[in-house]
Amino acid sequence: MTAVLDHRLRKVRKCGKMFPFMQHLKIYLDGVFVNEPDAKISVFDHGLLYGDGVFEGIRFYNGRVFLLEEHLDRLFDSAKAILLTIPLERDALRAAVLETCRQNQLRDGYIRLVVTRGKGDLGLNPNSCLKPTVFIIAATIVLYPEKFYTEGLRVNTVPTQRVSPAALSPAIKSLNYLNNIMAKIEGNLYGAQESILLNQQGFVAECTADNIFVIKQEQILTPHVTDGALGGITRRLMFDLAKKMGREIREANLTRYDLFVADEIFLTGTGAEVVPISEVDGRKIGPGRVGRITQEFIAAFRERTQNTGVSIY
């Protein structure tokens, strides 16, 4: 299978050089590259009908895909957890990710790697889906204007609670994001840039697409993943960066009160990277500006992104 994919990649790469005037994004779709308007899946795809599938959001910087192996690990783990067989070997999938970046002649941007259950019927039973669908998008991204990285975000806690881990494990990065979207809508109604979800016990879980870190008297705390937080790839990196900075991050049960009285708060995510929080539910955090420790994490993260990763070219 890998040999077949490599042959297709070489063929499409050759074709891409023949048509440099084409401006459409090239999308990887089930083994071939197609122009964005032609990247279509069936209306009977269970990813569309039921959110039945898994995905990864991956960043690439300076011609290198950042933390690619970690993202592939989580993708295959998520797929295994929902009994979804990814129809590509890991090496072939890695090659497809890199080639998608090359097809679009990008050195910095965002990758969306998606595997759905595939085309089935209108019934819920996934046994009707005979072949999973795989598509990969590589494009540019700006999640927040640069001013938010220097001034911080305003966030609100919202009524929508995080789905209980007993109902659906937060470790599974599935296509079903309605819980997060409802929280995002409520945050928009408040005029906030992000929303914080609590779990059923009233503890802080995570934001709509980011993990959260709280600093109080130089102690760095983050919610347990068992509280409903996704074990984010960038979240995990913060533990590594903290050690190199001579600091320690501890998991803890956090309440809204812990947010209100924090000295500093920052969020982490593949899209958001490391972004500070300046206000929670109308309360200014610390002095209302980006704190020293948060600045250290932002600097350490940005340095790591520019110097590590899997080479695209």
Amino acid at 206: E
Question: Is 14 known to be catalytic?
Answer: no
The residue annotated as part of the active site, out of 173, 216, 243, 284, is: 173
Per DSSP, which regions of the chain are E strands? 26-29, 32-35, 53-61, 64-65, 109-116, 133-139, 153-157, 194-198, 204-207, 211-216, 219-222, 249-251, 264-269, 273-280, 283-284, 310-311
Residue 220 DSSP code:
E
DSSP secondary structure of 17-75: HH-TT--SPEEEETTEEEEGGG----TTBHHHHH--EEEEEEEEETTEETTHHHHHHHH
Chain mean position to CA 185: 19
Q: Tell me which residues are annotated as active site.
A: 173
